[in-house]
Amino acid sequence: MQAIVLAAGEGTRMRPLSSSCPKPMLPVAEEPLVAHTARTAVEAGADELILVVGYEAEMVREYFGTEYAGIPVEYAIQEEQRGTADAVRAAQEHIDGRFAVLNGDNLYDAPAVKHLFESGPSLGTYRVDDPSNYGVISADGNRVTGIVEKPADPPTDLANTGAYVFPEEARDWLEVGESERGEYEITDVVERVIAEYDVTAVELERWLDVGRPWELLEANEWKLGELERDIQGDVSELATLDGSVVVEEGATVKPGVVIEGPALIQSDATIGPNAYIRGATLVSTGAKVGHSVEVKNSVLSPGATLGHLSYVGDSILGRNVNFGAGTNVANLRHDGQAVKHTVKGDRVSTDRRKFGVVVGDNAKTGINTSLYPGVTLSPGITTLPNEEVSRDK
């Protein structure tokens, strides 16, 4: 079966991390976010991947090439991001037979996706606390009876996970009208399939829609937690590695370093001396964690550098970020309330008691900079020595 993976969007709610990197290509453990979706599709039985690309499409092409995980890869271009039905329509000429559709910025429970593929036509569901924020599924037993988008009075707590298996006939049903949001919605196609077929509701045990920076942290917590200990790099005998720690070949861990897993240190990364890494932490290719630096539950993108005597907690650092010596990230409000963060100009709750900063590519801090919880640093921005940053910059 063909699996269409939607990976065309920039991800404006993920800015500044998506300013030069499409959201589906942001790092999650050992692979980009979209690669986890693609691998789940392959493990579920897909025999061909069709990646719908658009924003910074070449980054996706360079990563996947023409074959991934042993199966062929085709590409479809969505010139403008005008909704999910429009995205699938971009792949229309490639569709031959029954086909699956998955969101490239979602993480899915792999066994459930396998069941989804075997049960088509089918739709993936997940129980949520506030279904009014999602497309909501009605079902009679395991048969889908309806779907409604973000209802004020949800009929159930079953959210639509954006995971579908369509009959071949649906290939010709992708010409839908514009929704109230000005987009072409795949849910219009789903409604027609529900009307003409028995559609199986497949409930996922685990699912994550990765739309905002703190959800990228959560995605890394999930996938780093699945890693098994594997030490291939150059690790000093005077370093201490506890738990599920992966040190890839070409990485260097110097004397006095303590790493408490789950943690992934990728190739060409350098840790220490005397650094402390804990929580679910990703240190990407070429990143550097200097002398006496502490990193907790964070994502360091490729080339990020933390000068000595710094602290970074519950944060995401973009590519080639450089923190000067003594830079400290605050990740906890004194009143104990959830930290707020700016998304598309609005301050919204992260629902996380601890959340640090989000730093765009190539930003730099001066020595002894202090960064407050929930702050965003734009790509290429700089701070002065001893500066306190309490607002986005």
pLDDT-based confidence at residue 135 (cuts at 50, 70, 90)? confident
Q: Kindly report, residue by residue over 47-59, the tens digit of the pLDDT.
A: 999 999 999 999 9
45 and 186 housed in the same domain: yes
Residue 37 above 80 pLDDT? yes
Query: Which of 209, 220, 214, 215 is closest to 358 using CA atoms?
Result: 214
Determine the Cα angle at 181 with ends 178 and 184, to 5°: 35
60 and 190 housed in the same domain: yes
181 and 241 housed in the same domain: no
Give pLDDT, residue 82: 82
Q: Kindly report, residue by residue over 315-370, the tens digit of the pLDDT.
A: 999 999 999 999 999 999 989 899 999 999 999 999 999 999 999 999 999 999 99
Give pLDDT, residue 329: 98
Segments in the chain forming alpha helices (H): 33-44, 57-64, 84-90, 110-118, 186-196, 213-224
Residue 178 above 70 pLDDT? no
**At how many degrees (to 10) do helices 33-44 and 213-224 cross?**
50
Domain boundary among 175, 190, 211: 211
CB 311 within 8 Å of CB 328: yes
Average pLDDT over residues 203-232: 96
In a domain, 219, yes or no: no
Q: Domain tally for the chain? A: 2
Does the annotation count 308 as an active-site position? Answer: yes
142 and 247 housed in the same domain: no
In a domain, 284, yes or no: yes
Instruction: Show the domain range for 237.
Output: 224-389
187 and 43 housed in the same domain: yes
In a domain, 194, yes or no: yes
In a domain, 261, yes or no: yes
290 and 200 housed in the same domain: no
In a domain, 11, yes or no: yes
178 and 84 housed in the same domain: yes
Residue 151 above 80 pLDDT? no
In a domain, 216, yes or no: no
Give pLDDT, residue 118: 95
Q: Kindly report, residue by residue over 104-124, the tens digit of the pLDDT.
A: 999 999 999 999 999 989 999
Domain boundary among 147, 178, 211: 211
Give pLDDT, residue 97: 92
Cβ burial, residue 184 (10 Å; 0-12/13-18/19+): buried
CATH number of the structural domain spanning residue 242: 2.160.10.10
Of the listed 36, 308, 334, 341, which one is catalytic? 308
Could you tell me which residue, 176 or 222, shows the higher pLDDT? 222
CATH number of the structural domain spanning residue 102: 3.90.550.10
Instruction: Write the CA distances from 99 to 49, 83, 95, 166, integer angstroms.
Output: 10, 18, 7, 5
Residue written as token pair 């010709």: 172
203 and 286 housed in the same domain: no
Asked whether the CA dihedral 213, 214, 216, 220 is positive or negative, the reply is positive
184 and 257 housed in the same domain: no
Cis peptide bond prior to 262, omega within 30° of 0: yes
Domain boundary among 211, 237, 269: 211
In a domain, 178, yes or no: yes
pLDDT-based confidence at residue 46 (cuts at 50, 70, 90)? very high
In a domain, 160, yes or no: yes
Asked whether the CA dihedral 13, 16, 19, 21 is positive or negative, the reply is negative
13-41 b/e (C-beta count within 10 Å ≥ 16 → b): ebbbbbbebbbbbbbbbbebbbbbbbbbb
341 and 228 housed in the same domain: yes
Residue 196 above 70 pLDDT? yes
Average pLDDT over residues 223-236: 96
189 and 299 housed in the same domain: no
Residue 230 above 70 pLDDT? yes
CB 76 within 8 Å of CB 90: yes
| φ, ψ dihedrals at 101, nearest 5° | -130, 130
Q: Kindly report, residue by residue over 253-300, the tens digit of the pLDDT.
A: 999 999 999 999 999 999 999 999 999 999 999 999 999 999 999 999
SS3 percent helix, strand, coil of the chain, rounded to 5, is: 20, 35, 45
171 and 272 housed in the same domain: no
